[in-house]
Amino acid sequence: MDHSDTQAIEKNIRRAVMVFVILMVLTVVTVLAAQVDLGHTVNIVVALLIATVKGSLVAAYFMHLIDEKQVIYWVLILCAVFCVFMLGLLMFTNADGITL
């Protein structure tokens, strides 16, 4: 094993540990945010934002999407926009009193 390979491995391990620590901190923030009553809608928005950040970190670093080509990002953005659109559609229909 080359010296540069060892440094690259150590860098990847440090990055993985850092992402893990951030995910654990965000998990604690999620639990604390769930205990605060900001109103039903605001609690849902806060929970979705935290979950989006955590999911993005997992996808980017542990699924190695951070090293992929530009096409992967466009597909990921398209999926995120579609998901937000569908959640918004569900919330608007729920607010109108329409039952599915």
- Per-residue model confidence as pLDDT tens digits over 6-32: 888 888 899 999 999 999 999 999 999
Q: Which domain holds residue 85?
A: 68-100
Is pTM beyond 0.85? Reply is: no
3-state class (DSSP) for residue 42: helix
Structure tokens at 48: 């979705």
Residue the block writes with tokens 């690259």: 8
| Same-domain check for residues 61 and 74 | no
Same domain? For 4 and 47 the reply is yes
Same domain, 86 and 42: no
42/88 same-domain check:
no
Question: Which amino acid is present at 43?
Answer: N
**Residue-wise pLDDT tens digits, 30-69:** 999 989 988 888 888 899 999 999 998 998 888 877 777 7
C-beta neighbour count of 61 within 10 angstroms: 19
Whether 48 and 80 map to the same domain: the answer is: no
Say yes or no: 34 and 11 in one domain. yes
CA distance 80 to 92: 18
Tokens of 24: 């654990």
Are 81 and 41 contained in the same domain?
A: no
